[in-house]
Amino acid sequence: MKQFLSITFIMFLLWNCGQKTNENSAEKMIITEKHSEEAIKGITEKFPENSRQEIEKGVHHAASLWRQSDGTEQEFVAFCTDNYIGDSNEKHAVLIKVSEYMESLFGHFNKMTIDMKKNVDLQTGQLHAVDHMFSAYSAGAHLNNDFYGNKIAFLVALNFPFYSTEEKNELGENWTETEWAYARMGDVFNSRVPSVLIQNSAAVSAQADAYIAEYNIYMGNLISKTGQPLFPENMVLLSHWNLRDEIKANYSNSENGPEKQEIIYSVMQRIIDQSIPHQIINSGEYNWNPFENKLLKNDRQVEAEPESDKRYQQIVNNFNALKDFDSYHPVLNTSIKRSFSGNMQIPQEEVEALFHEFLSAPQLKQTGEIIKKRLGRDLQPWDIWYDGFKARSSMPEEKLNAITQDRYPDAKALENDLENILKKLGFENEKARYLASNIAVDPARGSGHAWGASMKEEKARLRTRIPEGGMDYKGYNIAIHEFGHNVEQTISLHEVPYYIMNGVPNTAFTEALAFVFQERDLMLLDMKDENPDAEYLKTLDILWSVYEIMGVSMVDMQMWQWMYNNPDCTAEELKNATLEISKNVWNEYFAPVFDIQEQTILAIYSHMINSPMYLPNYAFGHLIHFQLEEHFKTQPLASEVERIFALGQLTPREWMIKAVGTPLSNQPILNAATEAIDHLL
């Protein structure tokens, strides 16, 4: 998962920042159409050769941001007349200057954020309350208000007005790189939220991150239905990532794999419905039978005290913090709209329609039949994570662990091997050395993430969990995924036409490259899949992964829609609603394939707790991943990765067309799945 606090996230904070320069929420807009027309008239008289349409757009945008504390109506008119840049060369020069200033500001604030979160994110020893306090601190919370106070925001808004996603899609096809940079500069100031709300949101987010980062299950303390321990005594797995990956790893375990999968599934159900005893979270003090929810200490049963909806309280806290921004966004006036139409640049309704189309596809039922045949049994709910299409699924986990632990005993060993990994992927020596030199590897406290730099002088950070005995295969697989993010982050920072275009259209696009890297994890270990059906199996593996994550994303989206319909909900009410939503999504899209009703497993993802509405990016990432993989069949991977991820922040539609020649669609993977099913059935 990409840690989205790079330049894109800092710009997101600015987009969500300050409806006013002071904290008085009652302050209103004061610029009327009459005043705007007066400013437009003054500018057109000064620059008669300039486009009146562009002048109007800039003035109206600046007017939407001006408040009483910024000055009188006539001061607004004078500001616009005095500060409109009518000369094209001067406008371009200002773009470069502002970009340089922003790179320094965003870059250093990003570095400060990394430093403030260091102890919480990395394995630096025991945590103290002060660590969490600094982790929650947002050094840049007042930056946006300062920009309004010194009028920089108004100068930018006047000369680089905001274009909606719809306008960008309509006009962007014919824009030059410079025009795209102008439009992206216009994204920086499109609304104003008081800094106190930004600081509060950062604190709430940090609390949710800390809650998830230490949600470990001591697997050696789990007791099976027959009263036996099934897992190594020293195995500690983070929810949900490591629990899910342990389910995947046991498809190749013919001895007791299904039994292990069933007990993990039972643990997940207890987490979702919050009947999990709080005593066993991040603790090895008790033994626990999750089937009967019995807690034992020294072979004596003790009272199990449920976690008591703490999981759902984190979601409620995030919802309340983000909902406080709503009144400061006249257009994107819900967090849902800001997440999709704003950040994702695809309206939520379009996302849901695309997901519904995919989840209803007949190829899924047919793929389910293939999985049943390969397993020799009926499907179980945890088979949403069926991993048997991958080459590694036939390899014992112990063998894979031995390889990765020997190769990567610590974070430094992985960092030293990054250049070699890039060479194996086809990057030229000089490019591999350059990319690797801009990425550092850190030992993560949680499952791991990728954190991009926001200025060229800093490195991207690859965070991965490395146990004392060295990196196990699950950790390696995640690390290769995160490395894909880091490569994107480095290319899209250093090689885009303009700094202000830094990044990709949304996080789905960085997820796509992360999947491309992750798909090649065995090749990077010098292992090769000799199966003649490998391509067909790979297609079905991606299809099944999209199926699972789209279902999870549907639950996430519907949960947020429910909260907006029930804004005063308690954690318990949200829990009950989420359980029902997960059952309904399961019954509509999964029960026809699994022949099992009323399952809640789709609500297990930790992203729902600490990364609001992030999950749909994974689904889009898989679709983009597939179209990229199809493209790489006829084009060299390394050089195309360099070209494609240097496009920068276009809209998703324009990016896909320029990258692979076609828009984003379900059809390519569904067509390929039909071919694979016909071959394998």
Q: Residues 483, 589: contact at Cβ < 8 Å?
A: no
Q: 562 in helix, strand or coil?
A: helix
Confidence class for position 16, pLDDT limits 50, 70, 90: very low
| Shared domain check, 224 and 207 | no
| Shared domain check, 100 and 30 | yes
What was the pLDDT predicted at 6?
A: 38
Confidence class for position 123, pLDDT limits 50, 70, 90: confident
What was the pLDDT predicted at 66?
A: 93
What was the pLDDT predicted at 11?
A: 43
| Shared domain check, 664 and 547 | yes
What was the pLDDT predicted at 317?
A: 98
What was the pLDDT predicted at 25?
A: 38
Q: Which amino acid is at 49?
A: E
Residues near 217 by beta carbon (within 8 Å), at least 6 away in sequence: 236, 237, 238, 239, 243, 267, 280, 281
| Closest to 623 in 3D by CA, of 661, 665, 658, 651 | 665
What was the pLDDT predicted at 10?
A: 43
| Shared domain check, 439 and 406 | yes
| Shared domain check, 434 and 371 | no
Q: Residues 293, 270: contact at Cβ < 8 Å?
A: yes
User: In terms of C-beta density within 10 A (0-12 exposed, 13-18 middle, 19 or more buried), how is residue 68 classed?
Assistant: middle
| Shared domain check, 472 and 536 | no
pLDDT digits (tens, 9 = 90+) for 198-223: 889 989 999 999 999 999 999 999 99
Which helix or strand (DSSP H or E) is residue 294 part of?
strand 294-297
pLDDT digits (tens, 9 = 90+) for 395-452: 778 889 999 999 999 999 999 999 999 999 999 999 999 999 999 999 988 777 899 9
What was the pLDDT predicted at 165?
A: 86
Residues near 249 by beta carbon (within 8 Å), at least 6 away in sequence: 387, 397, 473, 474
**Pseudo-torsion of CA 411, 417, 422, 427, nearest 10°?**
140
pLDDT at 339 > cutoff 80: yes
Q: In terms of pLDDT, which residue wins out, 453 or 142?
A: 453
Any idea what DSSP says for residue 327?
G
Tell me the mean pLDDT in the region 155-177.
Answer: 92
Q: Give the span between the Cα atoms of 461 and 439, in whole angstroms.
A: 6
- Taking each helix axis as running N to C, give the angle between helix 310-323 and helix 195-213, from 0 to 180 degrees, rounded to the nearest 10: 160
What was the pLDDT predicted at 159?
A: 98
| Shared domain check, 371 and 359 | yes
Asked if residue 625 is part of any domain, the answer here is no
Confidence class for position 116, pLDDT limits 50, 70, 90: very high
pLDDT at 373 > cutoff 50: yes
Which helix or strand (DSSP H or E) is residue 217 part of?
strand 216-218
Residues 236-269, buried b or exposed e (16+ Cβ, 10 A)? Answer: bbbbbbbbbbbbbbbbbeeeeebbbbbbbbbbbb
What was the pLDDT predicted at 391?
A: 66
User: In terms of C-beta density within 10 A (0-12 exposed, 13-18 middle, 19 or more buried), how is residue 403 classed?
Assistant: middle
pLDDT at 17 > cutoff 60: no
- Pick the last residue of a domain from 502, 520, 552: 502
Look at the block and give the residue holding tokens 């990196």: 471
Confidence class for position 103, pLDDT limits 50, 70, 90: very high
pLDDT digits (tens, 9 = 90+) for 524-580: 999 877 778 988 999 999 999 999 999 999 999 999 999 999 999 999 999 999 999
The mean pLDDT value of the chain amounts to 92
Q: What percent of the chain has pLDDT over 90?
A: 78
| Shared domain check, 162 and 19 | yes
Confidence class for position 394, pLDDT limits 50, 70, 90: low
Q: Residues 507, 614: contact at Cβ < 8 Å?
A: yes
**Pseudo-torsion of CA 670, 672, 676, 679, nearest 10°?**
120
Scanning 47-151, the segments in alpha helix (DSSP H) are 52-65, 73-83, 88-121, 129-135, 143-149
| Shared domain check, 241 and 102 | no
Q: What percent of the chain has pLDDT over 70?
A: 95
What was the pLDDT predicted at 424?
A: 98
* Residue 234, both tokens: 């020293």
- Helices and strands counted in the chain (H then E): 31, 9
pLDDT at 87 > cutoff 80: yes
Q: Residues 669, 628: contact at Cβ < 8 Å?
A: no
| Shared domain check, 551 and 441 | no
| Shared domain check, 546 and 482 | no
Domain count, the chain: 4
Tell me the mean pLDDT in the region 273-279.
Answer: 97
What was the pLDDT predicted at 147?
A: 93
- For the residues of 348-404, what is the DSSP string, one character each? HHHHHHHHHHHHT-HHHHHHHHHHHHHHTS---GGGGG--TTSGGGGS-HHHHHHHH
pTM of the model: 0.79
Q: Give the span between the Cα atoms of 291 and 269, in whole angstroms.
A: 10
Tell me the mean pLDDT in the region 124-145.
Answer: 84
pLDDT at 20 > cutoff 60: no
Paired sense of beta strands 300-302 and 294-297, if any: antiparallel
Asked if residue 514 is part of any domain, the answer here is no
Q: Give the span between the Cα atoms of 650 and 627, in whole angstroms.
A: 17
Asked if residue 422 is part of any domain, the answer here is yes
Look at the block and give the residue holding tokens 């070209």: 643
Asked if residue 63 is part of any domain, the answer here is yes
pLDDT digits (tens, 9 = 90+) for 464-502: 888 889 999 989 999 999 999 999 999 999 999 999 999
Containing structural domain, residue 52: 2-211
* Residue 417, both tokens: 């091997």
User: In terms of C-beta density within 10 A (0-12 exposed, 13-18 middle, 19 or more buried), how is residue 633 classed?
Assistant: exposed
What was the pLDDT predicted at 314?
A: 98
Look at the block and give the residue holding tokens 């800390």: 210
Tell me the mean pLDDT in the region 287-299.
Answer: 95
- Pick the last residue of a domain from 289, 308, 327: 308
Asked if residue 507 is part of any domain, the answer here is no
Confidence class for position 392, pLDDT limits 50, 70, 90: low
Asked if residue 513 is part of any domain, the answer here is no
| Closest to 315 in 3D by CA, of 2, 603, 12, 116 | 603
What are residue 300's DSSP bridge partners?
297
User: In terms of C-beta density within 10 A (0-12 exposed, 13-18 middle, 19 or more buried), how is residue 97 classed?
Assistant: exposed
| Shared domain check, 49 and 127 | yes
Asked if residue 317 is part of any domain, the answer here is no
Asked if residue 624 is part of any domain, the answer here is no
Look at the block and give the residue holding tokens 């620059």: 47
pLDDT digits (tens, 9 = 90+) for 318-332: 999 999 999 888 778
Q: Give the span between the Cα atoms of 623 and 633, in whole angstroms.
A: 16
pLDDT digits (tens, 9 = 90+) for 70-79: 999 999 999 9
Tell me the mean pLDDT in the region 615-632.
Answer: 92
Q: In terms of pLDDT, which residue wins out, 317 or 347?
A: 317
* Sign, CA torsion 95/100/101/106: positive
What was the pLDDT predicted at 1?
A: 52
- For the residues of 420-465, what is the DSSP string, one character each? HHHHHTT--HHHHHHHHHTEEEEEBSSSEEEE--SSTTSPEEEEE-
Q: How many residues does the chain have?
A: 681
* Residue 306, both tokens: 């449920």
Confidence class for position 24, pLDDT limits 50, 70, 90: very low
